Structure 1
Amino acid sequence: MSASDDDHIDGRYADLADVVLALARTISADAHADPGVVDLTATEINVMRFVDRHPGASPSTVAAATGLHRSNLSRALRDLEAKGMIDRVADAADGRQARLVPTDRAARNLARLRASWSRLLSSAGADDDDLGSALRLLTRLETGLARSAQRETGV
């Protein structure tokens, strides 16, 4: 941590990050307990999340958006194809270019995960107002961090 980082410490943000990481570990452990869920690495999850939200994206677009080097992305794509989670389809305008699309298996896997996440978190006792506020805050933080990353990388 640099000296300038010390000047910008707000314990609330650090506490929020700590809670988010703890929740992520709990949610991940719960999902891994389901034998019907396809096990993905953190890199594969990152790629699938983008491709699911942007079906038909090119590999270079996915690499730029996820911050992955092309070699790391290529490995993740090979592994996701082997797991039946992603297909490469020819670009209609330029058959030499590939477009990435999630498979039906990926859609079923995501639906199963979302149901598991909903079940797990709904049992924790948050009310609808808390849930709405938390979702809005975390979405704003995710969007803000994505914008910062885009500015830093020029993408």
Structure 2
Amino acid sequence: MDDDQETRLFELADRILAVGRLIHASKEPAFAGESWTPLESAVMRVVDREPGITAGAVARATRLISSNTSRALRNLEAKGLVRRVSDPDDARRVRLYPTDRAEQNLRELRRIWSELLAGVADDPAGIDTAVVLLRRIENGLAGDPRIDTQEQT
């Protein structure tokens, strides 16, 4: 990799971190008194996107060890955000679903984050391009062995 490419990629990573921090902070006023650890947020994101997923599949999707996943799920359940349902086809298996409260939180986050970005990202084609790039980055990094997701606790 040449210096120009290294500089561009560093700038991209730095901007992703900065924007993520600002977006994350924007939720604070609406959710005063509620908090989620980065680990809980990662687990909740998977449960929101894949209702009915198993704890093992959540662990694989987040690349967390099962004990960390279990702890996050217990915490999310205690906060009223995740519910466990026995699989009707296999009573040994438990499926995870977001609760109504979690769905309300997600709708509120969608509103907050959409309003936040509305004034600075109005070009539909540019937004679509950014989403495609960020999805490709996320998918590419998800399997990278150099990334230790256990530090999110």
Compared CA separation, residues 6 and 111, structure 1 to 2 (3 A): same
Residue among 119, 124, 131 paired with 1:123? 119
1:36 deviates by 6.5
1:45 deviates by 0.8
Is 1:11 aligned to 2:7, yes or no?
yes
Is 1:45 aligned to 2:41, yes or no?
yes
Between 129-138 and 36-45, report the one with greater CA deviation.
36-45
1:116 deviates by 0.5
SS at match of 2:92: coil
Distance 1:33 1:63 in 2: 30
Aligned counterpart, 1:77:
73
TM-score by length of 1: 0.83
Residue among 54, 62, 77 paired with 1:66? 62
Higher RCO structure, 1 or 2 (CA under 8 Å, sep 6+): 2
1:144 deviates by 2.0
Query: Can you give the 5+ residue segments of structure 1 that lack an aligned partner in the other structure?
Result: none
Aligned counterpart, 2:151:
none
SS at match of 1:79: helix
* Structure 1 residue ranges (4+ consecutive) displaced by more than 4 angstroms after TM superposition: none
1:39 deviates by 2.3
CA contact (8 A) 2:52 2:96 kept: yes
1:129 deviates by 2.7
Aligned counterpart, 2:95:
99
Residue among 55, 59, 63 paired with 2:51? 55
CA contact (8 A) 1:50 1:62 kept: yes
The one-letter amino acid of 1:52's match is D
Compared CA separation, residues 114 and 37, structure 1 to 2 (3 A): farther
CA deviation vs aligned residue, 1:86-137 (integer Å, no higher than 9, x gap): 0011011221221111111111101100110000011225422322221121
Distance 2:63 2:111 in 1: 29
SS at match of 1:10: helix
Tell me the number of residue pairs that the alignment of Structure 1 and Structure 2 aligns.
145
